[in-house]
Amino acid sequence: MDLSSFRRRSSPSPSPDSGSARRGFLPAPARRFGLGAMRLNHILASTLLVLPLLATISVFYPRDGARRPPDRAAGFAEARVLDGRALSGNATPLVSDDTDSSSPPVDLPKNDLLGGLLAAEFNKQSCLSRFQSAIYQKISPHKPSSFLVSKLREYEKLHKRCGPYTQSYNETLANINSGKAIGSTDCKYIVWISFSGLGNRILTLASAFLYALLTNRVLLVDRGKDMADLFCEPFPEKSWLLPTDFPLVNQFQSFGQNSPNCHGNMLKKNIINTSTNTLPAYLYLHLAHDYGDHDKLFFCDEEQTVLAKVPWLVLKTDNYFVPSLFLMSSFDEELSKLFPDKETVFHHLGRYLFHPTNRVWGLITRYYQAYLAKADEKIGIQVRVFEEGNGPFPHVMDQILACTLKEKLLPEVDEKGFISSPPENQKLKAVLLTSLSSGYSEKLKDMYWEYPTVNGDLVGIYQPSHEEYQQTERQLHNQKAWAEMYLLSMSDVLVTSSWSTFGYVAQGLGGLKPWILYKPDNRTAPNPPCRRAMSMEPCFHAPPFYDCKAKAGTDTGALVPHVRHCEDMSWGLKVVSGHDEL
């Protein structure tokens, strides 16, 4: 297809429907109508008698309009049916961006706790997304195991007993102040440092939580600049946010491979080993992409024996390191019970941990209802370009079209412009495209505006934002990014970009195996342009290639059937279901 025929137009970004204007009624004095007091009293008395009768009639004989399904031609402004599951006729609108406890309740499906994944002990108004997400998301075919549900309930009890400012927390904190691990402690902790971009933070936080589950530690989260503005509290009663008066909090940004308490550095200098009796009160785990050989020994069972004795572990990473946990024999049995379907790790933990705050949930629900809800099919396209320069790039646009048309995710257009009568099975397809550049969505929008589709389907193209460049430290930028990840996860089918953690989050939350756009080389569209993912799990971009038992290098992507090399990064690792046919 010749893209040069599609001229770029400057069109306004779609904005959610602002709703109908409010109408007020002011009572006028009776004398204005020439009514005497007596006559007015008669009218009021008659009205009071008739109103109950009219209300009764309206209950048994609703208006015809209330019985009709929504008119698709009216646009995507308001959804009465979400993902094939009808809202009850008296359901209230699902829009809110604050914590107003006076908001009316909503009708929730029976799966509002995601098959037992979520605890019920929460104030619904404090985090609307926790209970309303089941209305927007399709019911997942991947059910959490009973062992995982039980483990989560046990963890919540542990977090309540050991969370911030509890007696156990205060006693264990004394170890840090003394500098040594003194005696046995009732609770042990892993502190996650807020580090890197939002997609990385979400993936690494899920990794840290899984490690906490496996080692019976309490997860505490460095709030950074905006964690509290993005995510609701996931655990009942006790916060997961690290108190601001934590003794080490001011040192987090300076922690690195050469820090005195860095686990890898201490191993390198032989300060600690398996026979060490006196251990420090805390160890810093440097698992970022630039970590060294001694840091990578974290993934050896032998070192886990030492780490288990340390009350406080402080973690900095920008990697989804879950695949390497699956290669450790000490965790193997429990992981198999937690996740019988091994590729559901992030799908379950992500939906358990990450609930958008009311502010972000408002961004999500308003956009969904305005533009996506009435579509017969929702196609998500996530474009992340790692090349220098400002997009859109022609070869990337060529690749997007080659993939979506070849895989029949989007319909071909008839460039002759022949318009036939709409077919009986005409579909309305909504394409949600996310990118820092607006150019790709504009090209697609022009294409489906200028020419009809060959099968008669209607295609709408929507892009919530185009920030032009990544602004990791800007709060609103991250709120929009989180909203877009979540909106992408609501898609029926998904196309993502290689190497992008943004796409990994969307596919995992949605339980989707996306079509992955190969990374272009020399500004040329790859052929083939994309391939279907073998797993919905994210990729571990910088795994160790080391056999702990043999103490030698090895291909860690060939050790077990359920850990393979990634489709988009040949040296990366990802968890798959483990079936031989993959």
Which helix (DSSP H) or strand (DSSP E) does residue 178 occupy?
helix 167-178
Burial tier of 64 (Cβ tally within 10 Å: 0-12, 13-18, 19+): exposed
Residues 15, 309: Cα–Cα separation, whole Å? 54
Range of weakest confidence among 34-48, 86-100, 103-117, 186-200: 86-100
* Overall size of the chain counted in residues: 582
pLDDT at 14 over 90: no
pLDDT at 66 over 80: no
pLDDT at 513 over 70: yes
pLDDT given at position 110:
52
pLDDT given at position 58:
42
Mean pLDDT of 63-72: 37
Mean pLDDT of 482-490: 98
CB-CB contact of 501 with 538 (8 Å): yes
Identify which of 297, 287, 303, 323 has the alpha carbon closest to the alpha carbon of residue 192. 287
Residues 496, 481: Cα–Cα separation, whole Å? 15
pLDDT at 493 over 60: yes
Range of weakest confidence among 108-122, 275-289, 448-462, 567-581: 108-122
pLDDT at 178 over 80: no
Q: Could you give the percent of the chain with pLDDT greater than 70?
A: 78
Phi, psi of 338 (to 5 degrees): -70, -40
Question: Pairing between strand 493-497 and 515-517?
Answer: parallel
pLDDT at 297 over 60: yes
Going by pLDDT thresholds of 50, 70 and 90, the confidence category of residue 75 is very low
Question: Pairing between strand 546-547 and 552-553?
Answer: antiparallel
Which helix (DSSP H) or strand (DSSP E) does residue 283 occupy?
strand 282-286
Residues of the chain with CATH 3.40.50: 363-575
Residues 431, 462: Cα–Cα separation, whole Å? 6
Going by pLDDT thresholds of 50, 70 and 90, the confidence category of residue 335 is very high
Going by pLDDT thresholds of 50, 70 and 90, the confidence category of residue 101 is very low
CB-CB contact of 499 with 369 (8 Å): no
Going by CATH, does the domain composed of 363-575 fall within 1.10.3470?
no
What is the residue type of 116? G
Question: Pairing between strand 189-192 and 218-221?
Answer: parallel
Structure tokens belonging to residue 95: 């829009």
Phi, psi of 114 (to 5 degrees): 55, 50
Going by pLDDT thresholds of 50, 70 and 90, the confidence category of residue 153 is very high
Going by pLDDT thresholds of 50, 70 and 90, the confidence category of residue 57 is very low
Mean pLDDT of the chain: 83
Range of weakest confidence among 83-87, 402-406, 418-422, 568-572: 83-87
Range of weakest confidence among 134-143, 215-224, 429-438: 134-143
Residues 279, 303: Cα–Cα separation, whole Å? 13
Give the ranges where 342-393 is alpha helix by DSSP (H).
345-353, 358-367
